[in-house]
Amino acid sequence: MTNGDLLRDLMGDCQEEIFQTLVQSGPLRIERIISTGQSSPPGFWYDQHEHEFVLVVQGAAVVAFEDGRQVPLQVGGWLHIEPHQKHRVVSTSENPQTIWLAVFWDKPATDTA
């Protein structure tokens, strides 16, 4: 058994976002992400092969999609981002820090035989 507290041992005033893998098993990875006002660089888009589910545990954020949609997230707000759905972080709160719980997974391969 492994356990912890998402809201403990937070780093203050970090220049970079902090990504911490909490659990990883096969195609599943769960991370805690600590953001202190960071955003994606201009023109940068995440384009990942995995599903991503994010939940804002503390703070706030805005996530933008390539099609122009912007999704504001407050505490308790969540998103499911499909593989290759280009997205970027427009903003995150600095005080309080934005704490994300992110779950990544690959779809299992289908048997075509």
- The pLDDT value given to residue 110: 58
Q: Is 7's pLDDT higher than 90?
A: no
Question: How confident is the model at residue 105, as a pLDDT?
Answer: 97
Q: At 92, give phi and psi (nearest 5°).
A: -140, 150
Q: Are 56 and 77 in contact (CB under 8 A)?
A: yes
Contact 64, 70 (CB under 8 A): yes
Tell me the pairing of strands 28-35 and 98-105. antiparallel
Mean pLDDT lowest among 10-24, 63-77, 82-96: 10-24
Model pLDDT for residues 24-81, shown as the tens digit of each residue: 999 999 999 999 999 999 999 999 999 999 999 999 999 999 999 999 999 999 999 9
What is 18-105's CATH number? 2.60.120.10
Distance in angstroms between the alpha carbons of the first and the last residue of the chain = 37
Which pTM does this prediction carry? 0.87
CA separation for the pair 32, 99 (Å, rounded): 7
Domain positions in the chain: 18-105
The predicted pLDDT at position 34 comes to 95
Dig out the tokens for 8 from the structure: 């403990």
